[in-house]
Structure 1
Amino acid sequence: MHYDSETRTLPHNPLKALVAPRPIGWISTMSREGALNLAPYSFFNAVADDMVAFSSSGRKDAMTFAEEGAEFVCNLASFDLREAVNATSAPLPRGESEFAFAGLATAPSRKVRPPRVAAAPAAIECRWLQTVPLVPLDGGEPANFLVIGQVVSIYIDDRFVVEGRVDTGAMRPIMRAGYFDYFTATPETRFEMRRPKGGG
């Protein structure tokens, strides 16, 4: 089988089912006026040792507020918080707080203004670096935007630090797949491999 935008041999684009599972950046931001936003983004990842990025389809509040305040926080979306993560994806009016809508308490961040999700097992505080419009092949108006931030501080719940290492599996992060599917990581699925020696 072969799929592309012209042949459409499947009822849904399989890309999201194949590039999976994808980590979820649960992004909290604050506008200039102090309005809070919290939204999950599955087009999210670390892109360097101290940088992360998320992609917004359209100019949504998370992107706009990140630019206005020049800061954002990536909260870890865990299995225990899955219903709240989903609730914060609701299309609320601009400026209406998803924290309040989902019944989530905030906790102050250490180095940025936007708060973190108090119940999240980890949170990555970032300063906004730039937003890159993702111009399509035909050169038309971009519909997607890549928001890049530099990590300035990381919060980790002490329960998940074991002998100086973060036990990611114990946090049970949820990850997005295609359609309505999600995956979760657990300690039982973890394995370790070391890079082969050699080269220069």
Structure 2
Amino acid sequence: MKKALKKVVSSTLALTVCLGIPFAANASSESANIEEVSEKDVLFTVEVKSEEELNAFLAELAAHNEKSRELWERALAESKNTKENTESVETNKISPMALSKSEAKTTVGFGHNDSMKAMIGAYVTYNKIEKRFGTVKGFYMYGRNTDTTVGNVDYEYTKIDNDRTLAVHSTSLVGVKNDMTGGFSYFTYEAYIEFYDGGGEFL
């Protein structure tokens, strides 16, 4: 298992999704000053029109982040329990390796009946050996309908299911535009993703 790998990915395009209804968030996250955050480091942006919407956004983000952390802890436990009984694919010197890419996309819903939606995605590059994950080369996240990646994405990963699944826990920034003040605040968005040969899934 490899933990605490971090990658900063440069981006040439700022990706934002302006929404009128709050989404997912971590009320305990520290907000960053706008001078400290570049637009290209923001995965998506939401727009709140009242104090009630802001509070709802923060509560939903806190619940989302907590779920992502729980899934990550479960993956770590699974990896630890099976590691001693499984030979790592990286020690296999017989099978040829091929550089591969697996990608996951999801549409996240906001507001009543998910009336507002936004797409986010992620992909991982790695050496593949017999449909299993070898050395991981990089992890990237993006917003909307483009593969232009955003910056300041931190991540850690572990292999489960006999190295056939790569579990990733990532943190990135989401922006909150406050219509009441005209200002922006930024909060941590945590994602848990499982990649497999040729695909992946946000959970």
**TM-score, normalised relative to structure 2:** 0.25
Return the structure number with greater strand share.
2
Q: Select the structure with the greater relative contact order (CA < 8 A; seq sep ≥ 6).
A: 2
